[in-house]
């Protein structure tokens, strides 16, 4: 359904934002959709240590998207390492260079292949 939504900025409380659990009562900032990937870059959890970020990542994955975090800093770098995100480099035409991105792919636990996962865990 929403996986076919238009690429671009996802604001808190937008239709796609609400569907993913990205709401203004939990977060400030925005997400970015590009194809089957949701980039989490400029967000702040309004209430830390309540699981809002982990719930957001699980919702994004459960709806069939990959999660990408361009270069994580501070606490976020610790999180992506702990959760076993994979570090890759992607070319960003706007910057005309390769940039570090940490990715968690939407992978089915039953067949270990990228596929649509139905429902949250």
Tell me the whole-structure pTM to 2 decimals: 0.82
pLDDT digits (tens, 9 = 90+) for 100-109: 999 998 865 4
Residues 25 and 46: beta-carbon distance below 8 Å: yes
CATH class of 2-104: alpha beta
Amino acid 61: pLDDT = 93
**What DSSP designation does 88 have?**
E
Amino acid 110: pLDDT = 47
pLDDT digits (tens, 9 = 90+) for 46-72: 998 899 999 999 999 999 899 999 988
Average pLDDT on 31-44 reads: 93
Domain range annotation of the chain: 2-104
Rounded Cα gap, residues 54 and 6, in angstroms: 24
Amino acid 114: pLDDT = 47
| CA-wise closest residue to 88 among 80, 70, 100 | 100
Amino acid 108: pLDDT = 52
């Amino acid at each position: 359904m929403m996986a076919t939504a238009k690429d671009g900025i996802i604001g808190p409380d937008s239709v796609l934002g609400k569907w993913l659990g990205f709401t203004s009562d939990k977060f400030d900032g925005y997400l970015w959709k590009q194809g089957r990937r949701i980039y989490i870059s400029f967000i702040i959890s309004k209430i830390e240590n309540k699981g809002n970020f982990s719930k957001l990542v699980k919702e994004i994955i459960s709806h069939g998207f990959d999660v990408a975090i361009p270069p994580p800093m501070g606490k976020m770098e610790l999180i992506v390492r702990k959760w076993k995100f994979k570090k890759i480099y992607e070319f960003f035409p706007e910057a005309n260079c390769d940039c570090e991105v940490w990715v968690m792919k939407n992978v089915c636990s039953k067949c270990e292949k990228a596929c649509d996962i139905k429902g949250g865990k």
